[in-house]
């Protein structure tokens, strides 16, 4: 690669780390019928595939729904296959991951993809801080995000945060609230993915007394409850279509009305919405109202997944160790843990990393399983095969000299505070429960969700959260 190309296809930190040079890069796809489609490659990864949710939709029957991803990094453009059926090929050779030289064609199905430098590009401000509120991040992508949030937080603008489950959208929103003039007011959270669709309207707007059978008392809605503060609407993409115009009207008029009443009340709350979906595409397709999308996306920000910023892992691990009771340090991890933690892709993002660190301190013998074939290539959960029921040879002897896995398990939990122990047990229960239900329904998410009494979206999020996949 010539030095000229090396410079023009990389992210470069400039001005003593206070800014980032973002090169102008074009991605061109030549379709089987020789038609050409194009998109720019910017800070956020570009997902190519035949699904309309992809950033670059490739209408080729031999291309998988989510086929591959291109990502701009400090080292160059990284190409990753996303588990495609027919593979991603460079000069006829299938690749899972490769640094992509400019103008070298990549084959997906019967289409050809090419990445080309188009010019000098732009300069983005970089935060000089490696945290924003509770959220940590020293990677370039997080520092670009922090710089934007530092500017946006003190304003009253509506924000839309896009990012996978567990990337920190909620703690970032909490920090936005803390850094705004509303910090003394309430911080209210509503998760549209966790509430049955028929109940969301009542949660947002509340209801009057006697509004429906069983409504013995009046209940304020979350919009009202957020008055003077910030309302964080998580998984806004799951908001039913019939509730969307009502939310839009409330945001525009700053007025809300409880169900079953005729009284309008003013409310003054800043709205921050989040979703793991490509909301722009959904709005263009008609599965999300465009007017609401444009109203929410006054400032639209992408929260990077953890696999896009693996250089943040040591800092995060250190924080998770330090906040344990009693506090731990990197020296308390089993040897060679860090390179393994950095090699894994973390589909459940920072939440999954935090839980993995907690388990690793409790059950260090699980580390060798990180070396298993699941690591990175198939991207299964690093601790999947090993629910923390201790193995016979490591279990603690009981008073009778035998080994009792339950006693040893409890013994290890006793090293934790009660809230931590409760969280470890509940996380494990949730993971085993979801896995068992999916097994029972042979991987059919709709039927498992129905049997569990939750939405399909929640099952998808639980799978993401625990780094699992339905077979
Ligand atoms: N950058 C970060 N620094 C420190 N901790 C983080 C960071 N990002 C996430 N976490 C931790 O990971 C967990 C999940 O974060 P959070 O709930 O904010 O994610 P989310 O994107 O809102 O997820 P979901 O969409 O599933 O609700 C929290 O315990 C949070 O403290």
Nearest CA to ligand 1 atom 10: 168
* Pair 23, 72: CB distance under 8 Å: yes
Q: What is the pTM of this model?
A: 0.78
Classify residue 402: in a domain, yes or no: no
Of the residues 255, 274, 302, the one at which a domain ends: 302
pLDDT of residue 410: 76
Residues 146 and 250 in one domain: yes
367: containing domain: 307-371
- DSSP structure class, residue 403: B
CATH of the domain at 237: 3.40.50.300
Residues 34 and 174 in one domain: no
pLDDT of residue 383: 33
Is the bond preceding 326 in cis, omega lying within 30 degrees of 0?
yes
Nearest CA to ligand 1 atom 30: 168
* Ligand 1 center to 169 CA (angstroms): 6
Give the ligand 1 atom nearest the CA of 173.
Answer: 18
pLDDT of residue 78: 94
Residues 53 and 194 in one domain: no
Residues 99 and 146 in one domain: no
pLDDT of residue 388: 31
**315, 318, 320, 323 alpha-carbon torsion, rounded to 10°:** -130
Nearest CA to ligand 1 atom 5: 135
Nearest to 367 by CA among 375, 64, 137, 272: 375
Residues having CB within 6 Å of any atom of ligand 1: 134-137, 163, 165-171, 234, 316, 350-351, 354, 461, 465
Give the ligand 1 atom nearest the CA of 235.
Answer: 25
* Ligand 1 center to 350 CA (angstroms): 6
CATH of the domain at 331: 1.10.8.60
In tens, the pLDDT along 209-227 reads 877 777 778 889 999 999 9
* H or E element, residue 78: strand 77-81
**Distance between CA atoms of residues 313 and 341, nearest Å:** 8
Give the ligand 1 atom nearest the CA of 464.
Answer: 26
pLDDT of residue 157: 95
Question: CA dist 468 to 350, 431, 463, Å?
Answer: 15, 9, 5
Query: What is the overall mean pLDDT for the chain?
Result: 85
Per-residue exposure over 442-468, b if at least 16 CB sit within 10 Å of its own CB, e if not: eeebeebbeebebbebbbbbbbbbbbb
| Separation of CA 60 from chain center | 28
Classify residue 380: in a domain, yes or no: no
Nearest CA to ligand 1 atom 29: 351
In tens, the pLDDT along 345-369 reads 888 899 989 988 888 888 777 766 5
* Ligand 1 center to 235 CA (angstroms): 14
Q: What is the mean pLDDT of each run of 10 residues along the chain (471 residues)?
A: 55 86 94 96 94 93 95 92 94 92 92 91 93 96 97 96 94 98 96 88 90 79 96 95 96 94 93 93 91 96 94 96 90 86 88 87 70 34 32 32 62 72 77 87 84 78 75 61
pLDDT of residue 404: 64
* Ligand 1 center to 275 CA (angstroms): 13
Residues 267 and 169 in one domain: yes
Of the residues 302, 330, 361, the one at which a domain ends: 302
Residues 93 and 145 in one domain: no
The position carrying tokens 């920090």 is: 175
Nearest to 88 by CA among 53, 112, 65: 112
* Ligand 1 center to 46 CA (angstroms): 23
pLDDT of residue 430: 84
- DSSP structure class, residue 241: T
**Distance between CA atoms of residues 19 and 23, nearest Å:** 13
The position carrying tokens 């969301």 is: 200
Residues 101 and 66 in one domain: yes
Residues 230 and 283 in one domain: yes
Classify residue 60: in a domain, yes or no: yes
Residues 235 and 291 in one domain: yes
Nearest CA to ligand 1 atom 9: 168
Classify residue 393: in a domain, yes or no: no
pLDDT of residue 3: 46
* Ligand 1 center to 351 CA (angstroms): 6
Residues 35 and 95 in one domain: yes
Give the ligand 1 atom nearest the CA of 319.
Answer: 4
CATH of the domain at 419: 1.10.10
Nearest CA to ligand 1 atom 24: 165
pLDDT of residue 99: 92
* Ligand 1 center to 67 CA (angstroms): 27
The position carrying tokens 């992408």 is: 302
As given in the structure block, the two tokens for residue 385 are: 């095969």
The total number of structural domains in the chain stands at 4
Angle made by CA atoms 96, 443, 350, in degrees to the nearest 5? 55
**Distance between CA atoms of residues 470 and 344, nearest Å:** 19
- DSSP structure class, residue 397: B
Classify residue 396: in a domain, yes or no: no
Nearest CA to ligand 1 atom 13: 351
**Distance between CA atoms of residues 359 and 165, nearest Å:** 20
As given in the structure block, the two tokens for residue 67 are: 């086929």
Nearest CA to ligand 1 atom 16: 168
Question: CA dist 329 to 132, 343, 349, Å?
Answer: 22, 20, 21
Residues 227 and 152 in one domain: yes
Residues 248 and 270 in one domain: yes
């Amino acid at each position: 690669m010539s030095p000229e190309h090396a410079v023009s296809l990389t992210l470069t930190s400039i001005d003593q780390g206070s800014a980032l040079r973002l090169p102008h890069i074009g991605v061109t796809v030549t379709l089987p019928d020789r038609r050409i489609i194009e998109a720019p490659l910017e800070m956020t990864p570009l997902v190519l595939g035949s699904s309309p949710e992809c950033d670059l939709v490739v209408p080729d029957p031999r291309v998988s729904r989510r086929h591959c991803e291109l990502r701009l990094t400090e080292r160059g453009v990284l190409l990753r296959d996303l588990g495609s059926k027919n593979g991603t090929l460079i000069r006829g050779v299938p690749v899972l991951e490769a640094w992509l030289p400019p103008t070298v064609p990549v084959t997906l199905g019967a289409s050809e993809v090419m990445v080309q430098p188009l010019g000098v590009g732009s300069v983005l401000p970089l935060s000089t801080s490696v945290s924003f509120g509770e959220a940590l991040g020293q990677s370039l992508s997080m520092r670009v995000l922090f710089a934007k949030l530092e500017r946006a937080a003190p304003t009253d603008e509506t924000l839309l945060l896009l990012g996978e489950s567990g990337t920190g959208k909620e703690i970032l929103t909490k920090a936005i609230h803390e850094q705004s003039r509303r910090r003394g007011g309430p911080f209210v959270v509503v998760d549209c993915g966790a509430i049955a669709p028929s109940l969301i309207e009542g949660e947002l707007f509340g209801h009057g007394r006697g509004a429906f059978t069983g409504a013995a008392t009046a209940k304020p809605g979350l919009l009202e409850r957020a008055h003077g503060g910030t309302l964080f609407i998580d998984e806004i993409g799951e908001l039913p279509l019939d509730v969307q115009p009502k939310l839009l009207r409330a945001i525009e008029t700053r007025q809300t009305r409880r169900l079953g009443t005729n009284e309008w009340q003013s409310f003054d709350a800043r709205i921050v919405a989040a979703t793991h979906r490509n909301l722009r595409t959904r709005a263009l397709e008609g599965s999300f109202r465009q007017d609401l999308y444009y109203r929410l996306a006054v400032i639209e920000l992408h929260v990077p997944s953890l696999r896009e910023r693996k250089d943040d892992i040591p800092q995060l691990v250190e924080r998770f160790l330090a906040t344990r009771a009693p506090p731990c340090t990197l020296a308390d991890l089993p040897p060679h843990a860090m390179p393994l933690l950095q090699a894994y892709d973390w589909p459940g993002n920072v939440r999954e990393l935090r839980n993995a660190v907690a388990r690793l301190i409790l059950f260090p013998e699980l580390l060798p399983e990180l070396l298993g074939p699941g690591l990175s290539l198939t991207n299964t959960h690093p601790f999947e095969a090993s629910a923390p029921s201790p193995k016979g040879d490591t279990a603690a002897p009981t008073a009778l000299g035998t080994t009792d896995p339950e006693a040893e398990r409890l013994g290890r939990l006793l090293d934790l505070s009660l809230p931590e122990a409760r969280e470890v047990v509940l996380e494990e229960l949730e993971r085993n429960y979801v896995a068992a239900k999916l097994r029972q329904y042979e991987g059919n998410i709709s039927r498992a969700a129905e049997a569990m009494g939750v939405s399909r979206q929640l099952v998808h999020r639980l799978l993401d959260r625990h780094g699992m996949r339905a077979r």
